[in-house]
C-alpha cells in the first residue's frame, strides 16, 4: 500500500498544474491572432482570339504585388526590389498568390512537366494533345492510358483520375468566346492599392523534372524518379519563366479596401 509520503509528490505536481491548465483553457477561449491574411476570389480571363482551345492554356500564375512597372522589362511586369547577387532581376516580393491548374504526373515518365490539371475532359482529349508511346513503342490508346494510370496510381474508375473529366475542367468559354476560370488566392495579404497580376506559362518552363513527389513505382531499371512540379520562386522571379508565346496581363487589377471578391484579370498580352 502506498504511504502518505509516496502520494504527496504526485499530489503536489497535480495541484501545481491545475492553475496552469485553467489559464490555458481561458486563453484558448479568448485568444485572437488578428492575422492580416485573407482569401482573394475572382476570375482569370484568357482572350479567345489568342487561344482557341483551353487545352493550350498552360499553367496560369497569379500574384498580389505592391505595384506595377511595365517599363523595366519591356513588357507588363510588377515592381521589383533591387537586384541581389546573380539574380537577373529583383524580387517582386508577392503578398500572396495562386495558380489555375497544377502540374500532374501523367502516368508516363515521358510526360513529366507536360500535364496540367483542369485541361482534359477525356482520355482521348488527353492523348490528342499529349501523344505518348507505350513500353512496346506503339502509340498509346485511351485503353493503354487507363491501364497505365490504374497500375501507377491504383485508380479503378475514371472518376478517380485527378486530371481527367468534365468536372475537373478549370476553363469554360463565355458568350464572348473568351476562356474564364475561377481562382482563389488563399491566406494572402490584401493591402489596398496593391495589384493583382498574372501570366500563363504555355511551354512548361516553370516546371522542374527534378522536383516533386518521388514516383510511386520503380522504372524498368529499378530506379525511382521525381514526378516533376513547379519551381518555388515563380511568383518572386516570374521573368525567369516567362518566354515567347506566354500570355501576360497587360492591365493589373487594383485591390480595394475591404473587398476580397469579384476581381477579374485578363491575359491579353503575348510575349514576343
Query: Within a domain: residue 60?
Result: yes
C-alpha cell, 96? 500572396
Give me the pLDDT at residue 40, please: 98
Question: Which residues constitute the domain of residue 192?
Answer: 38-120+166-270
Whether the pLDDT of residue 218 is over 80: the answer is no
Whether the pLDDT of residue 64 is over 80: the answer is yes
| Residue spans of beta strands (DSSP E) within the chain | 38-46, 59-65, 96-100, 103-104, 115-116, 172-173, 179-188, 195-201, 207-208, 229-230, 247-248, 253-254, 263-267, 269-270
pTM (predicted TM-score): 0.84
Q: In 10 A of CB 13, how many CB atoms?
A: 9
Q: Which value, in Å, is the radius of gyration of the alpha carbons in the chain?
A: 25
Query: Within a domain: residue 25?
Result: no
C-alpha dihedral (46, 118, 246, 68), degrees to nearest 10: 60
DSSP one-letter code for 140: P
C-alpha cell, 142? 485511351
Query: Within a domain: residue 199?
Result: yes
What whole-number distance in Å separates Cα of residue 163 and Cα of residue 179?
A: 19
Query: Within a domain: residue 151?
Result: no
Query: Within a domain: residue 72?
Result: yes
Query: Within a domain: residue 61?
Result: yes
Residue 207 phi, psi (nearest 5): -110, 140
Averaged pLDDT for residues 171-199: 97
C-alpha dihedral (236, 237, 242, 248), degrees to nearest 10: 40
Query: Within a domain: residue 172?
Result: yes
The answer to whether the CB of 76 falls within 8 A of the CB of 248 is: yes
The domain total for the chain is 1
Range name among 20-34, 78-92, 102-116, 221-235 with the lowest pLDDT average? 20-34
The candidate with the shortest Cα–Cα distance to 214, out of 227, 205, 202, is: 227
Query: Within a domain: residue 129?
Result: no
Amino acid at each position: 500500500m502506498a504511504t502518505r509520503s509516496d502520494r504527496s509528490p504526485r499530489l503536489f505536481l497535480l495541484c501545481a498544474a491545475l492553475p496552469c491548465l485553467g489559464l490555458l483553457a481561458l486563453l484558448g477561449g479568448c485568444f485572437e491572432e488578428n492575422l492580416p491574411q485573407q482569401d482573394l476570389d475572382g476570375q482569370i480571363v484568357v482572350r479567345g482570339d489568342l487561344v482557341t482551345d483551353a487545352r493550350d492554356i498552360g499553367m496560369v500564375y497569379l500574384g498580389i504585388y505592391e505595384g506595377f512597372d511595365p517599363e523595366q522589362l519591356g513588357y507588363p511586369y510588377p515592381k521589383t526590389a533591387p537586384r541581389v547577387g546573380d539574380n537577373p532581376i529583383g524580387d517582386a516580393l508577392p503578398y500572396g498568390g495562386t495558380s489555375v491548374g497544377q502540374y500532374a504526373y501523367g502516368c508516363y515518365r515521358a510526360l513529366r512537366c507536360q500535364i496540367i490539371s483542369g485541361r482534359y475532359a477525356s482520355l482521348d482529349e488527353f492523348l490528342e494533345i499529349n501523344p505518348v508511346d507505350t513500353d512496346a513503342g506503339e502509340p498509346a490508346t485511351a485503353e493503354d492510358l487507363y491501364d497505365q494510370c490504374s497500375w501507377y496510381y491504383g485508380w479503378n474508375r475514371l472518376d478517380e483520375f485527378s486530371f481527367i473529366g468534365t468536372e475537373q475542367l478549370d476553363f469554360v468559354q463565355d458568350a464572348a468566346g473568351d476562356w474564364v476560370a475561377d481562382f482563389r488566392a488563399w491566406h494572402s495579404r490584401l493591402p489596398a492599392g496593391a495589384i493583382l497580376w498574372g501570366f500563363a506559362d504555355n511551354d512548361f518552363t516553370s516546371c522542374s523534372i527534378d522536383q516533386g513527389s518521388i514516383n510511386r513505382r520503380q522504372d524498368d531499371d529499378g530506379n525511382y524518379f521525381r514526378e516533376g512540379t513547379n519551381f518555388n520562386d515563380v511568383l518572386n522571379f516570374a521573368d525567369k519563366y516567362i518566354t515567347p508565346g506566354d500570355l501576360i496581363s497587360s492591365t493589373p487589377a487594383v485591390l480595394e479596401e475591404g473587398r476580397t471578391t469579384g476581381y477579374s484579370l485578363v491575359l491579353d498580352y503575348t510575349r514576343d
